[in-house]
Amino acid sequence: MKKQLLLMSAAALASGFAMAAPQTVTFSASPLTPPNTAAAENVRAYAAGENPYVVFSKALEPEAAYTLNNMPSRATVYLAAEMSVADQQPYIGCTITSVNVMAGSGPNNGSFPVNTVYAFVTDELNAVPTEKTQGTISTTPFSVTSIELDNPVEITGDKPLYFGYYFAYTSARPSYFLPTDNVKTPSTSNNTLVAYTEKVTDAPNYVNYSDQTPGSLCVSMNVSGDNLPENLAAMTGVSVPSYMSGANMSYEVRVKNNGANDLTSATIRTEISNGKSYESTVEISQPVVPGEYRTLTVSDVPNESTGVYYLTTTLTAVNGVALGNPASVTSIYGSYPQGYTRRPVMEEATGTWCGWCPSGIVMMETLAESYPDWIRIAVHNGDRMAVASYNQFVNEYVPGFPYALANRAIGVYPTSVTSQTYVELNNMFTKDPAYAELSFEATCSEDQKEVEVTCETEVCCEVQVPHRLAFVIVEDNVGPYSQSNYYAGGGQGPMGGFENEGSSFTTYFDDVARLLVGYPGIENSLPTQMNAGEKYTYNLNMSVANVTNSWFRVVAMLVNMESGEIMNAQEKVVYKDNGAGVEGVASDNAIVIKGGFGEVIVSGAHNVAVFTLDGRRVAETGLAAGVYIVKADGVSGKVVVK
């Protein structure tokens, strides 16, 4: 899952005349997922018998789609990318014949008033294009429509060219999504230029968003000519394992043939942020034809250092011919002989108004029972348990409800989770050791208004990638509140017993987020670079104003600031009275909770759950001596097992 960021930018591209400030927009994630055929449609080789052409695009393969927010009720929307003077050099003397538009929505994605667009290629950015060609694009998401220009454009290399399309809507804000590659590029790239005007006659004033998470806009051009460039290719993706061990490393590079001849070899440079650099030539047994994508394996790169580093990959040559102005992709990887146990985090977006959200409750309960090392956080939105501190997380990550993020790296739809899903997720995040470990203490202040946290971070190797800490207060047994339930009656199939509940039922809620401090992480909570064997301490106070019960959990998370992924986490159970009266609990409603020899004894309750003080769910019997948290039919207590 790629992170869907809320984007706002005040940067404007320079223009030669005075005009109004640019209209900034925001983006949010679409639930659309590109099919495997999207890349083939976006950049395709010419068929036998057609006039030869190559396809030029600033985007890699489509990875996601975004909606345009912050828009008026009617507007003209402009979407474009730049073909810089440097980009034009291999194509000088050739002709741009078509603009290829990738559809970002469809008739099944809400209202679709936009299928008529105007394609253009211009050397004047902030102006209404004087040359434009009307076209009707497909309404199949991520399909490509090639719009042949009424007036083809010769590539001279004298000044930048801007290619793209615009469309107008007049009755309702369109359900139109922008297909992008999710790969950020330098702000000078101008790969995702967006503007809108409220009058058709007004000139657009573009803002560049390509240096933010949507990455580059999936739009391309067909270029024809008698002297089409050969030996021309681009990387469209790099897949580097996050953890590698052993003497050598290998990873995958995906390339696209942008030239007019076949590719038989590719030379790839690997640079590591510790100063090491290597070059590998991959021989291609089955040539890559023009317009084709191919995944190549870079192998036998020496794995000489222990640490967490940046790895920069550059495609420097194809067929033995050096590429001009080659682009690079930077990834992150770790190499260390031993590390720490990793505790994954599941953050579930939910709400009492959401009839499908009982599936999320079932998912979280399954994790608690079968995978107790997973830390669970239910992020409520739009109901009485919502907290404002999690709003940015919801805006940036959540395409709809219910939805969950595993370590802020993999998106999960609770409505379609299977038993295999849990196995795969758990293996994905626990099979390799973590390079950092968190330990902390948390106690309530004397006035019980705050929890005082002291967190210690330890790393097993040099870490050159910046990280930050974030903290969450989580509470169980919150409520009772009424939950909507679309599974009532069993018409949607079984759902953990919720098919036997009504369409609305009253219940208590677990794992409820009460406060998030630091999103995505607290600035200066950790140094930019961390060294092996050193421990880093951070202190903070967190308000417990939202906590309604006598105990709660504090979750500490270590966030990789480059990827946004939670790399490790830890949690502690905290009592407002800091441990007073833990010998046993006698509750109301004839529920009695007691600690015995190696067991927890509960009478008068149907649903019982026992947790260690660090939040792991355990059995009611066969327990080691110590203090445990017990939940029974909405009543909670802390007991001592002898």
SS (H, E, C) 357-385: CHHHHHHHHHHHHHCCCCEEEEEECCCCC
The correct answer on CATH 3.40.50.720 for the domain covering 345-580 is no
What is the pLDDT at residue 420?
94
What is the pLDDT at residue 21?
52
Bigger pLDDT: 103 vs 460: 460
Torsion 483-486-488-492 (CA) sign: negative
What is the pLDDT at residue 38?
54
Mean pLDDT confidence for 280-293: 91
What is the pLDDT at residue 27?
76
What is the pLDDT at residue 403?
93
In this predicted structure, the answer to whether residue 164 has a pLDDT above a threshold of 70 is yes
Per the CB < 8 A criterion, the answer to whether 462 and 307 are in contact is yes
Place of tokens 């490509």: 144
What is the pLDDT at residue 176?
67
Cα(138)–Cα(301) distance, rounded to whole angstroms? 44
Percentage of residues in the chain having pLDDT higher than 90: 59
In this predicted structure, the answer to whether residue 620 has a pLDDT above a threshold of 90 is no
In this predicted structure, the answer to whether residue 315 has a pLDDT above a threshold of 50 is yes
Q: Which two tokens stand for residue 213?
A: 């998470």
Q: Rounded to 5, what percent of the chain is helix, strand, coil? A: 10, 45, 45
Cα(601)–Cα(464) distance, rounded to whole angstroms? 50
At 19, the amino acid letter reads: M
Domain definitions of the chain by residue range? 26-224, 233-335, 345-580, 581-642
Torsion 223-229-230-231 (CA) sign: negative
Per the CB < 8 A criterion, the answer to whether 84 and 247 are in contact is no
- Please write the tens of the pLDDT for every residue from 496-515: 999 999 999 999 999 999 99
Range with lowest mean pLDDT among 386-395, 538-547, 557-566, 579-588? 579-588
What is the pLDDT at residue 172?
59
The two domains 26-224 and 345-580 share their CATH topology (first three levels equal): no
What is the pLDDT at residue 213?
78
Q: Are strands 307-318 and 462-463 parallel, antiparallel or unpaired?
A: parallel
Mean pLDDT confidence for 11-31: 51
Mean pLDDT confidence for 44-50: 45
Global pTM reads: 0.74
What is the pLDDT at residue 107?
59
Q: Which two tokens stand for residue 256?
A: 């696209």
Under CATH, domain 233-335 is a member of which superfamily? Immunoglobulins (2.60.40.10)
What is the pLDDT at residue 5?
28
What is the pLDDT at residue 47?
44
- Please write the tens of the pLDDT for every residue from 522-562: 999 999 999 998 999 999 999 999 999 888 999 999 999 99
Q: pLDDT confidence of 367, banded at 50, 70, 90?
A: very high
In this predicted structure, the answer to whether residue 113 has a pLDDT above a threshold of 60 is no
Query: Which CATH architecture fits 26-224?
Result: Sandwich (2.60)
What is the pLDDT at residue 174?
56
Per the CB < 8 A criterion, the answer to whether 64 and 190 are in contact is no
In this predicted structure, the answer to whether residue 13 has a pLDDT above a threshold of 50 is no
Percentage of residues in the chain having pLDDT higher than 70: 89
